[in-house]
Structure 1
């Protein structure tokens, strides 16, 4: 079979290669790969900045944003041939910490987890792949074109879940949410915010291309002004931060309404000093009972919530979020950014 592979730590090693067909273990599904989403993590691995090959191997099959169709399921399985499925990314560590032992492997305390297509386990970027039944999520058949968005949606499903858990420490009826960044994570965060009945606003730098229209079609409001101006005007109850830009992060933190909650999902670059008034930030957080939290990855609960959210979404909106589809034999083209890219997907089927 063909697979998108890379040698972690070596820039320029990304290539489509012939690899042996996978052999499913007793409790695994054999899945025909349909599509693979490409995100910033994949690009970092391809650039040699990140990633770990399976033990004893030099190359890693890339890809953690999966979509496939079950070709074979074990006898007695809850899955059947033809089911549309996505594989979960993370696996608990071999000697589970308390969080992993309770199914909260997205909150692993000791860092010994593995991740498909990222850390020590082959990913889903191949024409065939296997996945343990317990780490497969069935999708609505109507998502056969867009179900590849499930993994990034699971990330924001977790972010919203965390926000609600924090908010429920006291009376909590948020009205207005601001999402900073209109990439795939930001747009999907906006989708889930709208589905929660909030007045959603999205902030990004661009003023043309597909992003403003995607936001408006959700019934949300698009902004391209300075972050501090937008937060001062809106005073959002909730901020989902999806840029990782240091100045945007701190403008968001200091611009919420009292009892505001800011959830950081964007990973910042290092080496960019930023001068802030730490005393004022601390004072505002304390006196207004505000919260800042970080959120990454997702567990099975979040994947299932994400599957429900995508099933309820406008199919044409999801379709338009995917702005470019690239065949597997030209998969490396998916790693070259274009001006109007939102979500780029590698098509694994013929």
Structure 2
């Protein structure tokens, strides 16, 4: 059966605890949109939050929404206005549409900070921005980047989270010859490890609570520590620490692990409101604390590095499940003790 003949199954969040896999309407593209036959989609932490809690941070689910923003596939109908890739092109999607609000300033060269931006599969605005977890979707042609020859669509589905990790690491500046510590070895943490090796770090050390992610980190060439070993983390004296767990203990550990004069990148999204952190330590060590949010213009560089093999991701994808079984895939992705990146196959 050809892709065009198959039912257009999608993964739709309706409310907290209500994830449905079922038919969605066929895409009706605008003139500047292409129709993409999705091959793989990566389950992200935000997708899990919409499923479990009906919200991801301040983005509250108020209507049914197709999830998913980490996708790869093939163009089956090019944009009518002639922009973007032609039919048959293998692509990965850059899910951001940057947009200002007319009153809040932001740096023009950092579109990820535009205050009214939309992102595939996000409930930040209403109507929500529908995601790309369906067999066929219409996407703006400008979002679509060609996948390098020889790079599998499975690996290309990692482009978006890999760019998040790449951007976060680069917020610390040049890491060549430095010791980089990664707090939290989930999928983003694993991709930070990969990016650190790509960028020439002398040593990468990763922490986590579970043996499965620690084993993958070792496979990635990192030295590993149990996240509960406070003494060993304090003794790291890392030049750069990337906090990728998004937890309050993880932030404290990141400060603890940093060398005097070092840099801590806050990549994992912390809960809203006040968060406790050892700020006296950050001050007396003269640490640089850098936030990191999504990414800016690095998507093409990451795809190229995936394509030429210099950004290595072996072992990070632990499970691939068919869309019909997406709920099981979400359940697996939610258990950090048994999985890293889970992909949905469409």
- TM-score after normalising by structure 2: 0.84
Give 1:231's aligned residue: 233
Contact 1:99 1:107 in 2 (8 A): yes
Give 1:152's aligned residue: 161
Contact 1:227 1:252 in 2 (8 A): no
Distance in 2 separating the partners of 1:246 and 1:52:
22
Please state if 1:344 is matched with 2:342: yes
Contact 2:9 2:134 in 1 (8 A): yes
Distance in 1 separating the partners of 2:285 and 2:9:
54
Question: How large is the RMSD of aligned CA atoms in angstroms?
Answer: 2.6
Please state if 1:326 is matched with 2:335: no
Aligned-pair CA distance for 1:157: 1.4
Aligned-pair CA distance for 1:243: 1.0
> Which of 207, 211, 214 is the aligned partner of 1:203?
207
Contact 1:228 1:255 in 2 (8 A): no
Q: List, as ranges, runs of 4+ consecutive aligned residues in structure 1 with deviation greater than 6 Å.
A: 270-273
Distance in 1 separating the partners of 2:209 and 2:137:
38
* CA shift digits 1:294-319 (9 cap, x unpaired): 212123x121222123223379x635
Contact 1:176 1:237 in 2 (8 A): yes
> Which of 184, 193, 196 is the aligned partner of 2:196?
193
> Which of 295, 301, 307 is the aligned partner of 2:292?
295
- Segments of structure 1 that go 5 or more residues without pairing to the other structure are none
Query: How do residues 169-184 of structure 1 correspond to structure 2 at under 5 angstroms?
Result: 174-184=177-187
* CA shift digits 1:164-223 (9 cap, x unpaired): 1xx6xxxx855110111111000000000001111111111223x3x3332233322122
Aligned-pair CA distance for 1:72: 1.9
- Segments of structure 2 that go 5 or more residues without pairing to the other structure are 1-7
> Which of 306, 310, 317 is the aligned partner of 1:310?
306
* CA shift digits 1:52-92 (9 cap, x unpaired): 56xxx932111111111111224744522222212222212
Give 1:250's aligned residue: 252
Please state if 1:58 is matched with 2:63: yes
Distance in 2 separating the partners of 1:103 and 1:255:
31
Higher strand share goes to which structure? 2
Matched positions, count: 325
Is the partner of 1:32 in helix, strand or coil? strand
Give 1:3's aligned residue: 10
Distance in 1 separating the partners of 2:281 and 2:313:
41
Contact 1:254 1:284 in 2 (8 A): no
Aligned-pair CA distance for 1:272: 9.8
Give the direction of change, closer, same or farther, for the CA distance of 1:163–1:272 in structure 2 (3 Å limit): closer
Is the partner of 1:99 in helix, strand or coil? coil
Please state if 1:87 is matched with 2:93: yes
Give the direction of change, closer, same or farther, for the CA distance of 1:136–1:272 in structure 2 (3 Å limit): same
Contact 2:183 2:253 in 1 (8 A): no
Distance in 2 separating the partners of 1:20 and 1:347:
19
Distance in 2 separating the partners of 1:73 and 1:187:
34
Distance in 2 separating the partners of 1:252 and 1:182:
13
